[in-house]
Each structure stands twice: as C-alpha cells, then as structure tokens.
Chain A
Amino acid sequence: MPSPQMPPIAGSAVDPPALRPAIQDATIERVAPQNVRARLEALKADGYAMLLDLGAVDYPQRVPRFDVVYHLLKLMPGAATVSQVDTPQRYRLLCGVAFEHPRVPSVVDLWRNADWAEREVFDLFGITFEGHPDLRRIQMPTHWEGHPLRKDYPLRGPARERSPRPQFANKSNLVAGTPPSGRTAEALAQQVRLRQAEDGRSEERVPE
C-alpha cells in the first residue's frame, strides 16, 4: 500500500480523455445513449464483426457521469491466413450515460459475447442494459448491495458476516471500524463517514 504519510496528488482531471488529442490506437467516436444502438448496428454491417470488449468508466464529477466503452474489431470471417486477415482495424465507441438514467440498450442480439460483459458492467457500475435476456450480478454475490467499481464505493467495502468467526476476528473487525454487517446502504454510508473521519481526507470522492 502507498505510505499513509503521502496523500494522493490532488486536482485530478474531470474528463481525462477530453484533455489531450486521442492516442491513435483505434478510430474513436462518442455517441449519446439513444444513438448507440443504431451506430453499433451500422458498424457491424460495415464489417466490425467482433465485439472485443465492453467496459465502463466512472467520472463522478462529470455530466454525464459514466462512459460505456465498446471496443470493436473489423475481421473477415473465414480469413484462414495472416494475409487474408490483412490489417484488422479497431473501433472505440464511447457512450456517455447519465447518473439519473443509467440505461443503455443491450447488444446481446448483435454480439453474443456482450452477455457477460454487460452483466459485469451492470454488476460493478449499476448501469442497466435494456433488452438483456438475463441481467443479474456476475462477479459479486447475489445479495450484494452497491456497485464496487463506482468511485464513491469505498475500497474495503462493507464487511460481511457469512459464517461464525472466532472472537478475535470479530474484535479485529471492530478495530477496523467496519460495521458487523454491511448489507444495507446505511451501513455503507456509515463506513464512508467513519473512514473520512479517520484519515481526514477524502480519497474516494463522495457525492453530496
């Protein structure tokens, strides 16, 4: 862990990708959620046959707050030699999603592998994919509350008591200031407060 004596350098950028000319690793485009589906359909028809990845980024101080990022690859099916594959191209589509309406149309019917990727974004960021056939948590346990990869989610998360523990383990939990069961939003908020009071600085940005 970084030394507690050395706080992180403050004054970070609100919208980092907009700050400098993009690194040309792909064709980069930004779309609104209402257009993302049509744009992806057009790109697929244009030969971007493979959905490489679908992820998200959280920028708490920016409007819209989230970016859902699609990475596409242009690839000819049946290209059995390197020369036929030629020079594949990558396409990066960034879709800004508002905090108030974290909804994006699902693309599972376009690319089957979007299934788990969308579930993961739903699980870790709380963005809903409309039309997804089986949208449920994938990495975190079913009963989990909160979305861990959001920037206002504390690093250590809420403590959970799944099975009885020896007494000393429970004590160590108290010392750490974590609530006995973090299964409620209140416990989560309390933990954020405790942590802030403890080190007197806000490492995780907490919205008002």
Chain B
Amino acid sequence: MSVLGTVSSLPLEPQGAQILSQDGNAMVLSMGPQHPSTHGVLQIMLEIEGESVTKAEPEIGYLHTGIEKSAENLFWTQAQTVIERMDYLAPESNSLCYALAVERLLGITDRIPPRAQQIRVIIAELTRIASHCVWLGTHGIDLGALSIFFYCFDLRENILDVQEAAGGARMHPNYVRIGGLQADLPDGHVERLDALVKKFPGRMRELRALLQKNPIWQDRTIDVGTVTSEQAVQWGLTGPALRASGIAYDVRKAFPYSGYENYEFGVPTRTEGDAYARFVVRLDEMEEAMRIVEQARAALEPGPVMIDDVKVAPPPKETIALSMEALIHHFKVVSEGIRVPPGDVYQAIESPRGELGYYVVSDGNNKPYRVRTRPPSMYNLQALKGIAPGNLIADLVVMIGSLDPVFGEVDR
C-alpha cells in the first residue's frame, strides 16, 4: 500500500468568485471563500439579477476542525482548551459556559467561591467589549470607514493587556476553569482595571463621534438588512441581532448565572431591526458591559478563587510537599482527570454574539461523552438566507458584518 507518488484524482471544487452559469437575466455567482469582506472562510452562492440578489445560500464548513469530536477524546479539563478556540474573539465566553455546564453536572454550582464568580463576570464583560471592538473595526473596514479600525483595536489592545496580566495569554488564556479560576488576579491588576475603566468613556465617545451620526455610515446601514421581530424568532436570532429587532431577550436576565442577578444593567433594545439598529445596540451594550465591570470590581471581595474540593481541583501546589494525601489527589486529578457523574445538562450564557449553549452529556467517565454547542453565530448567519434577497450585493457586505459571524464557531 505504497502511497509514494499518489496524485489526487478528485475533481477540484469551484473556489473564489467566478461566474458559474448564465440563464436569462439571472446569474449565479460564488462570493468567497476568499472575499475579504466574508471575514475569513464564508462562501455565499448568489443568484443575482444585475446588482440585486434574488437568492443567497451561505456555504459553511471551510473551517470545520471537529472540535466537538476532539473534545470527546480529551479529559474534561483538557477539552476546555479546544472549546475555547471555537469563538476565538471571545474565548473566555466559551470557557465560562463550558465550565458552568460541567459544574452543574458535578453539582458544585453553589460552591463556586464568590470572588471567582466576580472575576468571571469581569472577564466575561471585558471579553464582550473586546469582541465588539473587533466587530466594529472590521465592519467599518467592510464599509470603507478605515480609521475606526485603529480606534477599536487600540481599545481592544488595552483590554487584552488586562486579560493577559490575569490569565497569561492574550487570546486563549484558559483562565476560567472548572470549579473556579486558574489563579487569583496578580498584584496591581485591579489598578490596571481601574485605569481601563477610567479611560473607557472617552474611547466610547470617540467611537460614537466617528460613526453614529456620520451621514455616510447612516446611508449605508439604515434600512439595510431589516429583520422583523417575527423573522428574528423564526430564524433563531439571539444576542444583539435579536435585541435590535425589538425583543429584549438576554440570557443574563432570563437565566442568570455567575451572579448576574446581583448587578444592575440595562438591556439595550431597538425596534428598527436594520444594520444601524444592530450597530447602536452593540455600542450601547459595550457601555452596559463596562457598568457591570465597575460593579463587579466594587463588589470584589478577598477569598479563594478555586473550589475546595480535591475531586474537582488539584490541591494547592504548596501543600503537596507537606501532605501525602494532597500529593495523591494532585497526581490523580492531573494524570487521570476528574470524573463527572452521568447525566445531561443544557447551559447557556450570553456571549457577545448571542445565546451560547452547551448540551453536555457525561457517562461517568473522565472524558466528556458529548459536547453539543449551540453556536449563536451559525444561527445568526443562517438568517442571511432570509434577509439578503431583494438587496444589492454591496449591501450584502453590510449584512454579513452586522450579523457578526465568527467562523471558528460557525464551523467548529
């Protein structure tokens, strides 16, 4: 069975934007997967008449990496590392949701230390702001507003600095762990956070000043990609896309987790349902997120950040030199992984893109039996099929941007 010198005989798939067929006035066009405004790896099969789209069918799967399959073959704690890479713009949202799901299966939800919960909220909300920064920057570039990108990425960089100081990495810190957090905040971290909080309102004023009243921006986004509230529910939209269509459904309010019920925050809602409404809702959401960060920062109380349960979390490193039992528990948890009682659970959180849910099944093993993701990006992107027909190709770019898909999560 030598494979040396084997040459592929498979037919090449059509790639890139090319004219595939012509039939009367309608033309079939493949947009992407290399088109820059498709944010990576989205292909949209379009039927167009002149400049107008008559049919649109997004083709996904170009970034399919089998994360759900990988997760089934890793320990409970290891699976988090691949799960965190689904929505790579808001990695800690994935981690948080997965950790919450496993904690419910373990039955330790009530025993997570309050300090860990407060820091989780801070991290989750900072992630939301950082993710919206990337969305706004790239959305702006898609529409030809280049300078907004630099303002957004500057703000995001500040947030990532704060995250890096806490978790040790910019993108995928794996800071939220099953049972609590990887470590406590380092010395001086709260001061960094305060500096960020202080700087934030000025930054938001700049972002709003650049675009919100900008007539070109308004021309491009108002009445483009309108989704009515009925359509939004039909297509299963969640997050800012749903709230811009007039439904104030927010998982943080509806099914509170990590102590969100203790914080005071609004749920920005608009009724227009167009790209501009989604833009304003996300900007408002960034400010509400910072309000939550401030409250969680004020509520921050000293204490442990990891559950005191040797079956879930290894005992502190310094104790293993002193106690035989701690050494054994540490060895067991690290080498064999934790075991989770059999059962199934659905846990959802409000990720920057909407309701991120994990349906986790355990069969009592040291590896997850099944981790089914409810990817908000996938459902949001799917709505493009319903809202694109009747619009111009140029507006399609606006719609993709305003639905904010992240392909790590769409394709998984």
A75 CB within 8 Å of chain B = yes
Given A51-B236, A88-B254, A25:B249 Cβ within 8 A: no
Number of A interface residues in the complex (CB < 8 A): 71
Write out the residue numbers on chain B whose beta carbons fall within 8 Å of the beta carbon of A171: 4
Q: Are the C-beta atoms of A112 and B335 separated by less than 8 Å?
A: no
The distance in angstroms between the C-alpha atoms of A80 and B244, with both chains bound, is 10
Q: Are the C-beta atoms of A92 and B346 separated by less than 8 Å?
A: yes
Residues of chain A in range 37-82 having any CB-CB distance to chain B below 8 Å: 49-53, 55-58, 69, 71, 75, 77-82
Q: Are the C-beta atoms of B69 and A155 separated by less than 8 Å?
A: yes
Q: Are the C-beta atoms of B336 and A6 separated by less than 8 Å?
A: yes
User: Could you show 23 A-B contacts with beta carbons less than 8 Å apart?
Assistant: A2-B74, A2-B367, A11-B364, A17-B343, A17-B344, A23-B343, A26-B346, A49-B233, A50-B233, A53-B374, A56-B372, A57-B369, A69-B372, A78-B229, A78-B247, A80-B269, A85-B249, A88-B249, A90-B255, A112-B234, A137-B61, A180-B3, A203-B73
Residue of B nearest to A76 (CB): B247
B200 CB within 8 Å of chain A = no
Q: Are the C-beta atoms of A112 and B359 separated by less than 8 Å?
A: no
- CB of A81 to closest CB in B, whole Å: 5
The segment from B34-42, B160-168, B291-299, B378-386 found at the interface with A is B378-386
- CB of A44 to closest CB in B, whole Å: 11
Q: Are the C-beta atoms of A77 and B230 separated by less than 8 Å?
A: yes
- CB of A50 to closest CB in B, whole Å: 5
- CB of B2 to closest CB in A, whole Å: 8
B274 CB within 8 Å of chain A = no
Q: Are the C-beta atoms of A6 and B335 separated by less than 8 Å?
A: yes
Residue of B nearest to A181 (CB): B6
Q: Are the C-beta atoms of B271 and A13 separated by less than 8 Å?
A: no
B75 CB within 8 Å of chain A = yes
Given A139-B60, A164-B7, A8:B365 Cβ within 8 A: yes
Could you say which of A20, A80, A138 contacts B248, with CB atoms under 8 Å apart?
Answer: A80
Write out the residue numbers on chain A whose beta carbons fall within 8 Å of the beta carbon of B344: 16-17, 22-23, 57
Residues of chain B in range 305-357 having any CB-CB distance to chain A below 8 Å: 335-337, 339, 341-348, 355, 357
Extra pairs beyond A1-B74, A162-B8 (12, CB < 8 Å): A2-B337, A6-B336, A11-B364, A16-B344, A58-B370, A77-B230, A81-B248, A113-B234, A115-B385, A116-B60, A139-B61, A203-B73
- The 6 A-B residue pairs with the shortest CB-CB distance, nearest first, are A180-B3, A113-B236, A55-B372, A16-B342, A53-B374, A12-B363
A170 CB within 8 Å of chain B = yes
Q: Are the C-beta atoms of B236 and A111 separated by less than 8 Å?
A: yes
Write out the residue numbers on chain B whose beta carbons fall within 8 Å of the beta carbon of A138: 60-61
Q: Are the C-beta atoms of B248 and A79 separated by less than 8 Å?
A: yes
Write out the residue numbers on chain A whose beta carbons fall within 8 Å of the beta carbon of B192: none
Q: Are the C-beta atoms of A52 and B6 separated by less than 8 Å?
A: no
Write out the residue numbers on chain B whose beta carbons fall within 8 Å of the beta carbon of A161: 3, 6-8
The distance in angstroms between the C-alpha atoms of A142 and B336, with both chains bound, is 38
Q: Are the C-beta atoms of A116 and B359 separated by less than 8 Å?
A: no
Q: Are the C-beta atoms of B236 and A139 separated by less than 8 Å?
A: no
B362 CB within 8 Å of chain A = yes
Write out the residue numbers on chain A whose beta carbons fall within 8 Å of the beta carbon of B361: 16-17, 57
Could you say which of B4, B7, B61, B359 contacts A55, with CB atoms under 8 Å apart?
Answer: B359
* Per-residue A-contact encoding for B1-18, CB less than 8 Å = 1, 0 else: 111111110100100000
Q: Are the C-beta atoms of B249 and A155 separated by less than 8 Å?
A: no
B246 CB within 8 Å of chain A = yes
- CB of A65 to closest CB in B, whole Å: 13
The distance in angstroms between the C-alpha atoms of A198 and B341, with both chains bound, is 31
A9 CB within 8 Å of chain B = yes
The distance in angstroms between the C-alpha atoms of A20 and B340, with both chains bound, is 13
Q: Are the C-beta atoms of B64 and A139 separated by less than 8 Å?
A: yes
Write out the residue numbers on chain A whose beta carbons fall within 8 Å of the beta carbon of B8: 161-164
The distance in angstroms between the C-alpha atoms of A108 and B77, with both chains bound, is 36
Residues of chain B in range 227-270 having any CB-CB distance to chain A below 8 Å: 229-230, 233-236, 246-250, 253-255, 267, 269
A34 CB within 8 Å of chain B = no
Q: Are the C-beta atoms of B346 and A25 separated by less than 8 Å?
A: yes
The distance in angstroms between the C-alpha atoms of A139 and B407, with both chains bound, is 12
- CB of A173 to closest CB in B, whole Å: 6
A11, A13, A173: residue with the most chain B Cβ atoms closer than 10 Å: A13
Write out the residue numbers on chain B whose beta carbons fall within 8 Å of the beta carbon of A163: 8
